[in-house]
Amino acid sequence: MTIFNHHAPRHLLAAILLMFACAYAKAQSVQPLNRGLEVFADIYRQLDMYYVDTLSADTAVRWAIDGMLGEIDPYTVYYPDDDDEELRAMATGRYAGIGAVIRYSQRVSRSVIEEPYEGCPAQEAGLLPGDVIISIDGRDTKGWDNARVSRNLRGEPGTTFELVVQRPGEAHTRSFRLTRRQIQTPSLPWWGMVDASTGYLYLASVTENCAREVRNAIIELRQQGMTRMVLDLRDNGGGSVAEAVEIVGMFVDKGSLVVATKGKVPSTCSEYRTPAEPLDTVMPLAVLVNSASASAAEIISGALQDLDRATIVGQRTFGKGIVQGIRDVPYRGHLKITTSRYYLPSGRCIQAYDYRRRVSTQAAVSLPDSLTHAFRTRSGRIVRDGGGILPDSVLTVDSVPTMLYDLYASDALFDFANAYAAAHPDMLPPDSFAISDAEYEAFIDSVEDSGFTYNTRTAAALTQLRQLAQAEGRLRQAEAEFDALEQRLRANDLRADLHAHRRYVQPYLETEIVSRRYFQRGAMQHHALTDPDVRRAVAILSQRYPIVQL
């Protein structure tokens, strides 16, 4: 039993009182937690006892965890031991499997090989795009979705299995004996020269060791005569902060602040500065971004903008200004948890969404432009927080007809690309490949023969409007007009639409065909050389930094 001495020094009494106050506060904060856990345990006990069907404890608890984390933000995720491979693949870009992208074919109601990665077991064994997956180690895959097929294709490195496929146009199936191994998804699928002086790099993700790949590519391009560069970060969902800092460090002075993180505990508060001497601090640089450029890709583009080192070109980026860390949880699980916000060199945080404030549709609330704050780059230019990276040169996004999304997702275009590649073993290289007018007509014939159909979004909206008019008792007086308009909108002319939208369809079709012979690197090379946004970025560099002939 402790006796308080009223003659004790005042500072000692104050310390003891503070200690008890903290203990009381902690107890007060623990009480709601204990109460909630007690309620949860009792609810589960009653479900287990009285619910009409048997519940799995593991499944029910996983539902509870996922429901709780889903209310926080989309990036805080629990990975139990059996889901750990997904987390490792996300962080490193590596997984154990055969190295192939698969897709589900509505035509055959099975998964098919979409793209074998060059130099990986699927490609080395001779699998081709369009091969229909019939069985995996003797198990028929009919009725399996893509996720289940993918899980069974992956496994421990060194394990061997039998894959049976049906190749289009062949009467008998083919059997392949494949050995799984570590697959590194390419973070830098292609780099090269897009004109005599402009180098181009497409960085697909910011994963482990990608900075080393970028450095080597830049050195190689400079040897080929590169005097200005386009770094393409479009559709780059991000990844490692450390790798992003290394990439920025190739273009700015050693020791430059790239990003700072601020969280609740000291271990989540850090400053990241460039760790090495740069490759080039003066070469003109353009960075291409779009609405799917996020996270570490925004650190790269935002830091280069704040340091006035690059011209940012494209569309406003996604606006992910928060950082996740990995924490261990019991039974070998992991928790990917948002631990901090990050701040670019100007001091701005570009987080666009407040996940703690949601509207009735459960969508996160984004910060309106009127409430953002102004910050200044190194040279004094104004940049703003709260809504992603706004490019220095904003490129207008073409309004692509919605019919094309149905076409791209269908089997019609995919099957034609496979057939074309099979019939043209001597295909021209990616930098000079193009289909002729006659071949485009053959493509249209193939799409028509496939039975491809589509509904315009206008027709769908009209159907909803008709239903609304009926519910309000207004349909009868306007029914004739509805019928006439619906008839006109539903009279789709597939051939005419494919001719009208050829400038959108042909580049995509050509890239698909090129990938059959030259894999992802060839597809990216063809895309870079034909993409209008890449040409615009090159033109902006040419205008701002003309090459002077001496």
Res. 386 pLDDT band, cuts 50 70 90 = confident
Q: Which amino acid is at 289?
A: V
Q: Is the pLDDT of residue 311 over 70?
A: yes
Q: How far apart are CA 313 and CA 393, in angstroms?
A: 5
pLDDT at 550: 39
- Assess contact for 278 and 248: CB atoms under 8 A: no
**Strand pairing class (382-384; 374-376):** antiparallel
Q: Residue 156 has which token pair?
A: 């421990």
pLDDT tier, 336 (very low <50, low <70, confident <90, very high otherwise)? very high
Q: What is the pLDDT of residue 204?
A: 95
First to last CA, the chain: 92
Of 79-83, 372-376, 402-406, minimum mean pLDDT range: 79-83
Phi, psi for 282 (deg, rounded to 5): -125, -15
Model pLDDT for residues 95-119, shown as the tens digit of each residue: 889 999 999 998 899 999 999 999 9
pLDDT at 546: 74
Please tell me the predicted confidence (pLDDT) of residue 544: 83
The residue with greater pLDDT, 252 or 547, is 252
Confirm or reject CATH 3.90.226.10 for domain 190-394, answering yes or no: yes
pLDDT at 274 over 50: yes
Exposed, middle or buried: residue 20 (CB in 10 Å: 0-12, 13-18, 19+)? exposed
User: How open is the CA angle 451-457-459, to the nearest 5 degrees?
Assistant: 85
Residues in the chain: 550
Mean pLDDT for the stretch of residues 338-357:
92
What pLDDT does 491 receive? Answer: 59
Quick one: tokens of 54?
Answer: 């048997």
pLDDT above 70: residue 548: no
Which residue stretches of 164-294 are H helix?
A: 210-223, 241-248
Task: Tell me what pLDDT residue 30 has.
Answer: 65
pTM of the predicted model as reported, rounded to 2 decimal places: 0.85
Phi, psi of 502 (to 5 degrees): -60, -35
How far is 356 from 363, CA to CA, in rounded Å?
10
Judge whether residue 396 has pLDDT over 50: yes
Tokens of 513: 């065909």
Residue 366's pLDDT band, with cuts at 50, 70 and 90, is: low
58 membership: H or E segment, kind and range = helix 57-70
Residue 4 pLDDT > 60, yes or no? no
Q: What percent of the chain has pLDDT over 70?
A: 89
Please state the separation of Cα 268 from the chain's center in Å. Answer: 25
Q: Please check the confidence at residue 85 and state whether its pLDDT lies above 90.
A: no
- Half-sphere exposure for 140 (CA within 13 Å, toward CB): 3
Which among 533, 511, 306 has a CA at the least distance from the CA of 397? Answer: 533
Instruction: List the CATH code of the domain at 94-184.
Output: 2.30.42.10
pLDDT band at 12 (very low <50, low <70, confident <90, very high): very low
- CA–CA dist 423, 49 (Å, integer): 64
Mean pLDDT over each residue of the chain, to the nearest integer: 88
Q: Rounded to whole angstroms, how far apart are CA atoms 301 and 299?
A: 6
**Eight-class DSSP state of 308:** T
pLDDT in tens, 454-474: 877 777 788 888 888 888 888
Structure-model confidence comparison of residues 44 and 6, the more confident one: 44
Distance CA 176, CA 9 (A): 83
Model pLDDT, residue 295: 95
Q: Which two tokens stand for residue 29?
A: 């904060």
Find, among 444, 443, 438, 436, the residue nearest to 418 by Cα.
443
